[in-house]
Amino acid sequence: MSLVLAGIAPHPPLLIPEIGQGELVKVRRTRDALQELSRQVAAARPETVIIITPHGPVLRDTPVIMAGEELKGDFAYFNAATVKLRARIDGELAGAIALAARAGGIGVLLQNGAGEALDHGVSVPLYYLQEAGTGRQCLAIAFAFLSYRELFRFGEAVQEAVRTTGRRTVIVASGDLSHRLIPGAPSGYNPRGREFDEQLVEHLRHYRVEEILSMDEKLVAAAGECGLRSFAVMLGCLSGFSVRPQVLSYEGPFGVGYLVALFTPQAGGDGNEQH
C-alpha cells in the first residue's frame, strides 16, 4: 500500500514561533496537534509528502502542480525572513498524477515554481513536517474551483499515480475552516460559521464522505472557509480504503477554525469506492 497516511493541517502563519511569538499560547492545542501529526507522518517514513493548498496559483478548472527541481520559501512577508524552507520536488510522481488526471478528464497544469515563494498554505504545514524530520521531498498542489465531486475524482487520480509509481506517500490537506466565527473575525462575523465548523468536524470525525461532498452550499458560503476543496481532494486520495479517522484538535480563538486531523488507510482497500 503506497498511500500510508493522510491529514488535515491549518495554516495560520502565527503558528510559526518567530511570527506568533506571545500569541502562540492562544493556539497551543493546534500547535501541539500539528507537532503530533508531524511526528506520525515522520513515523510513517514517506518518500514523498503531497500538500494540497488553497493559496497557491488556484485556477477555475485546472489543478496546478508546482514543478521543477525544488520548492523554496520563507516567511519574509510575515516579517520572519530568516525562517526558510526547501524541499525536493518529486517530478516522477507529478508527471504520473498529470497523466492519471487527464485520463479521467481533469486537466492538470505543471507549473515551474522556480523563483516563486511558497504560499503559506504549503509553508506552514511544511515547517512542522520538517521540524519533525520529514517532508524533504514534496509535491505542492493548488486545487481548482471545481465541484467537490470533481476534486474527489482528482484525488482518485492522485491515488492511482501513487499506486503506479509505488511511491510511499502521505497526503496533507492544508486548509482552515470558517473565517467568521466571532465578531471581529478576519472575514466578519456570521453565526452560521460555527454551524459549518461543527458539522464538518463531526463528518470528518466519523468519516462521512458523502455528507462532506454534499454539504449545503449556502452554509459553506456563509462560513467563509478555505479548506473544504483541499479536504475533498484528500478524501478522493483515500477512496476505496477502510479509513481510521482521528480528530487531534479543533479551536478558533481568533475567529478562524483550526482543525488538525489524521486519517489512516487500512490495508485491503481496493480504490474502487464510488462517490
CA 128-230-197 angle, 5° bins: 90
Domain count, the chain: 1
pTM of the prediction? 0.95
pLDDT at 113: 64
pLDDT at 270: 44
- Domain assignment present for residue 212? The answer is no
6 and 265 in contact (C-beta within 8 Å)?
A: yes
- Domain assignment present for residue 202? The answer is no
- Domain assignment present for residue 93? The answer is yes
Strand partners, 265: 243
- One-letter identity of residue 231: F
Mean pLDDT by 10 residues, the chain (275 residues): 94 96 96 98 98 95 94 92 95 98 96 78 98 98 98 98 98 98 95 98 98 98 98 98 98 98 80 41
4 and 19 in contact (C-beta within 8 Å)?
A: no
- Domain assignment present for residue 159? The answer is yes
Write the secondary structure of the chain as one string of H (helix), E (strand) and C (coil). Answer: CCEEEEEEECCCHHHCHHHHHHHHHHHHHHHHHHHHHHHHHHHCCCCEEEEEECCCCCCCCCCEEEECCEEEEEEHHHCEEEEEEEEEECHHHHHHHHHHHHHCCCCCEEEECCCCCCCHHHHHHHHHHHHCCCCCEEEEEECCCCCHHHHHHHHHHHHHHHHHHCCCEEEEEECCCCCCCCCCCCCCCCCHHHHHHHHHHHHHHCCCHHHHHCCCHHHHHHHCCCCHHHHHHHHHHCCCCCEEEEEEEEECCCCCCEEEEEEEECCCCCCCCCC
Measured between alpha carbons, how far is 180 from 42 in angstroms, rounded to an integer?
33
| Domain carrying residue 69 | 3-177+225-265
- Domain assignment present for residue 209? The answer is no
Here the CATH number for the domain that contains residue 156 is 3.40.830.10
Place of cell 524530520: 133
- Domain assignment present for residue 189? The answer is no
- Domain assignment present for residue 272? The answer is no
- Domain assignment present for residue 207? The answer is no
Which of 222, 71, 45 is closest to 139 using CA atoms? Answer: 71
